[in-house]
A and B are shown apart, each in its own frame.
Chain A
């Protein structure tokens, strides 16, 4: 229904610094010129409340664009592969394993390029087109690379995608195939990020997570919007979200808050927000455990490469959201991550990437510690598909038996209990 959508004006007129509140025109800017604080899109919530309704949203497309009134773009959807409106799956078998009651999985493996990044990229590239950019770029740990390359191809935009040179093969191939420029940088993600922050000052390109970051990050709010809509316009009690830069967690919290502000929920949302990190890169969880405010950057070493951001831009805000909401942050080992992937796969039939393993393993820890409770309606965000990170799990799973193509061989394997049958 593009005709309905294009008639909706953007509710964003300016950007505002989260630190010092200075305001700026809604252009390609991301830091306050005064204090370097992050800029945020400013909405006129009264105007949004006057135009949005559950009925209008329900009549919209089965994608993030059904929430266009709460996204920072005008000409939408200028760039669209159909991101969003992914299944919210009731996970009773996993809940039983973890001793939980009502548990749901937001299955964002089911996006056009199989991760939640399609949400933020659709918004960022639509904004890039709106602002007249012909070239888009990003610093990525892989999922963003896939998504920027694919959306740029679809929109006919040039692309420059910068990734760490040691990225998983699964994420390199699934970026390069779209034909844009893929630049492998000899360094970790934080090196790539610094390079892009500097390049953004030298080239007139739309770096989705640098100079378009205030718009890009807003796309993650749709994970909260969809969850609430799919739960019959109620907010869950507790959500578990993977944390890399901290932006996703912060924006999911903002999404629930906005739904309350514009009157789409019954009552005020009171969602406990918990964050999941890998022990090999857990600067935010470490700050939470210590009880302080200082986020000390780390050198990442974890199989969860999509979460391997040692210097998290929104770490402080994520920490603040978690504390204010009564949630928690935990960090899990690489072994727990692999077990988390297997647990989700064998109980619910969903194959998550390593970041999803981090989320499930953290959920398991928080459930065991009584932080995530049996009487809560819980949603865990699984943000990327397992086929992208086969390296992490391949050594741990394989055939139950390898046999000659004969009935005898099969029965031998069966009788020696290599294979198991369930009633």
Chain B
């Protein structure tokens, strides 16, 4: 996959890992590559977001251009230049 520049939105819970930043720019072709690139610049992300077998933790949602990646191709979802990848806690909302 060709790596393109994308922006990753960091939830408050993980901003300490990113030096307090709310957004980090990385080069990646897929969501998995974006998370790996994030881990490379700010070690510690992967173990917080992914479970033992490398899939997203149950209570972590990842969105590409406002769409839940579980409606796309999951971690294999391809990225285009300038897209925003948001990491958002899943436990919110509802009645």
Q: Mark A residues whose CB is within 8 Å of B.
A: 19, 30-38, 116-117, 120, 139, 141, 143-144, 187, 189-194, 196-198, 200-202, 207, 209-210, 213, 220, 244-248, 296-297, 299, 306, 309, 311-314, 316, 383
Contacts and interface: CB of A to CB of B under 8 A. Distances in A.
B91 A201 contact: no
B58 to A, nearest CB: 7
Contacts of A316: 58
B86 interface: yes
Given A194-B86, A311-B61, A247 B68 contact: no
A309 B93 contact: yes
Contacts of B60: 36
Contacts of A192: 93
Nearest to A31: B89
Nearest to B68: A297
Q: Which 6 A-B pairs have the closest CB atoms?
A: A245-B94, A193-B93, A201-B12, A36-B59, A38-B91, A31-B89
B11 interface: yes
B22 A201 contact: yes
A201 B11 contact: yes
Contact of B94 (A187, A207, A314, A383): A314
8 contacts: A19-B58, A120-B95, A193-B94, A200-B92, A202-B22, A245-B93, A247-B95, A313-B91
B53 interface: no
A266 to B, nearest CB: 31
A196 B92 contact: yes
Interface of B: 9, 11-13, 22, 48, 57-61, 63, 66, 68, 70-71, 86, 88-95
A190 B94 CA distance: 9
Contacts of B9: 198
Nearest to A193: B93
A312 B94 contact: yes
B92 A117 contact: no
Nearest to B87: A36
Given A35-B59, A36-B57, A311-B61, A197 B92 contact: yes
A117 B13 contact: no
Contacts of B59: 19, 31-32, 35-38
Given A36-B13, A311-B68, A30 B91 contact: yes
A281 B67 CA distance: 18
Given A19-B59, A143-B95, A248-B95, A36 B90 contact: yes
A120 B61 CA distance: 25
Nearest to B59: A36
Contacts of B12: 200-201
Given A201-B22, A306-B95, 10 more contacts: A33-B13, A36-B13, A38-B59, A139-B92, A194-B61, A200-B92, A245-B93, A299-B71, A309-B93, A311-B68
Among B11, B60, B70, B93, find the residue whose CB has the most chain A CB atoms closer than 10 A.
B93
A422 to B, nearest CB: 38
A213 B89 CA distance: 13
A313 B66 CA distance: 18
Given A19-B59, A31-B13, A38-B59, A196 B86 contact: no
A210 B58 contact: no
B86 to A, nearest CB: 7
A243 B38 CA distance: 37
Contacts of A30: 89, 91-92
